[in-house]
Structure 1
Amino acid sequence: MTDATAEAPVQSAHDKALAALAARKDAILTAMLPDVAFDGWTDTALRRGAEAAGFHSQEALAAFPGGALEAVCWFSDWADRQMRAALTETDLSALKVRERVTLAVRKRLEILTPHREAVRRAGSLLALPQNAARGPQLVYATVDAAWRAAGDGSVDYNFYTKRLLLAGLVTATTLYWLDDRSDGLSDSWAFLDRRIANVMSLGKAIGQVTGRADKAAGILAHIPSPARFLRHLRGAGAV
């Protein structure tokens, strides 16, 4: 028996365990979202979510040992995964890159629309000083997922500058969307269309940030932080 053969069952069991944990976290997250809208991102909401999902309340902190902040990060990851899944069901071959990116951002916001208050309260939590580093990381993950879903194959500094430009758009559009009361969120989609036009026309600006974009760590310093949400979220109450 080769080493690779001997390791295969262990790896398979490990993958199954990770998949089971992810499924449990998804179940708890989606079950807790209605409580988050009223009670914020709290350990109490986590425990209620676990119970609503059919688990013992203690499973909440076992699944999310980092507590509410970890749940918020998982919420963002969940939305990214839902966005990618929605795009795989869409024929993107006839769409231009601009249209694909626009669709990716719109799909994500559509997925989050039933949970806008949870998004608002997540922004408040991420705006706290002790959580300041997490916000840009989550925004980066989202714009990276959007560009990849759009078929971006860049490997040079364009890889990072595209994400930097889109990060500003995602942040601004999310702020607009949070307070949009138009029918079918038509104002948000019009806002998104206007902003994406600006982003796609900024290719000439890439050279201005080339020196900053040679590493992911460099771009994170320039990605908008959820601290920008704070002024808009003060009325949301405790998180």
Structure 2
Amino acid sequence: MPETDQSAEAHRAVKDRLLDAALMHVAFDGWTDATFTAAINDADVEPALARALCPRGALDLALAYHARGDALMLERLASADLSAMRFRDRIAAAVRYRLEASTDKEAVRRGTTLFALPQNAPDGARAIWGTCDAIWTALGDTSDDFNWYSKRATLSGVYSSTVLYWLGDDSEDHAATWEFLDRRIDNVMQIEKLKATVRDNPLLSKLMAGPMALASHIKPPQGGAHMPGRWTR
């Protein structure tokens, strides 16, 4: 393994240790400087190294916790057999896998509070968008126009509302949350049916021809979902 890869792997291992240590304190102190300081001490990491890996302290650890959940979801999706499911059920399964990857509900609750702060809202929105992009990509989405954005934006709304419901759900095995999720996805499917109706209706399709032609020139980002989109002539 090249030296740079070894260094990156070592840094990831240190950050994982910091995150594991932080989770012992988040329920009491939230994603705060106090939690970050305690994690440094508990993980026996040099403060300078910890700050180099997490320049924004606990905020970066909260984002790392979210990324860990995404990775666990993708692992489960890769090993699951979803071939017999309807596509809407595959989406529901992916969202459920993502929530079930978050074994520490209090850490998620504290993270929701953290990302509700105005200065952290862009990071929170970016994290949710990344989760939904990971879901669509894992499920084989090949859209290459405005639909790339609309799919992720719609799923972001479904995912966000389901997380908030899940945080307050005390039903057995979160049964109420999964019912709520199914209802939200049904709402989305109604929108997709409406779009199909417009496309198939001769009069409506002509009326929407201009906007649809315009939207067809909007392309997804190249090089990853964190990059800006592009426009084609």
TM-score interval for Structure 1 and Structure 2 normalised by the shorter chain = 0.7 to 0.9
Tell me how far apart the structure 1 counterparts of residues 162 and 150 of structure 2 sit (CA, whole Å): 19
Identity in percent:
40
Gaps of 5+ in 1: 1-8, 221-239
Count of residues paired in the alignment? 208
The 5-angstrom pairing of residues 174-189 of structure 1 reads 174-189=163-178
Q: Show the counterpart of 1:107.
A: 97
Question: How big is each residue's C-alpha offset from its partner over 1:37-92, in whole Å with a ceiling of 9 and x where there is no partner?
Answer: 11111223123334444534554323211212211221211111111111112122
Write the letter of the residue equivalent to 2:174.
Answer: L
* Cα deviation, residue 127, structure 1: 1.3
* Whole-Å separation in 1 of the counterparts to 2:190 and 2:111: 31
Once the two structures are superposed, residues 141-171 of structure 1 have per-residue CA deviations (whole angstroms, 9 ceiling, x without a partner) of 0100111122212222211111011011001
TM-score by length of 1: 0.76
**d(CA) in 1 for partners of 2:44 and 2:78?**
30
Distance in 1 of aligned mates of 2:106 and 2:88:
29
3-state DSSP of counterpart to 1:133:
helix
**Aligned-partner residue type, residue 94 of structure 1:** A
Distance 1:62 1:93, change over 3 A: same
Shift of 1:216: 6.4
Q: How does 1:23-38 map to 2 (within 5 A)?
A: 23-38=13-28
Q: Is the 8 A contact 1:125 1:131 kept in 2?
A: yes
Q: 1:89 to 1:59 in 2, by over 3 A?
A: same
Q: Who is 1:193 aligned against?
A: 182
> Which of 166, 179, 196 lines up with 2:155 in the alignment?
166
Deviation at 1:131, TM superposition (A): 1.7
Larger CA Rg, structure 1 vs 2: 2
Amino acid at match of 1:156: D
Q: TM-score, normalised by structure 2?
A: 0.78
Contact 1:26 1:78 in 2 (8 A): no
* CA-CA distance at 1:103 after TM superposition: 1.0
Q: CA RMSD in A?
A: 2.7
Q: Give, in angstroms, the shift of residue 205 of structure 1.
A: 5.0
Match of 1:119 among 95, 108, 123: 108
Amino acid paired to 2:135: A
Q: 1:155 to 1:110 in 2, by over 3 A?
A: same
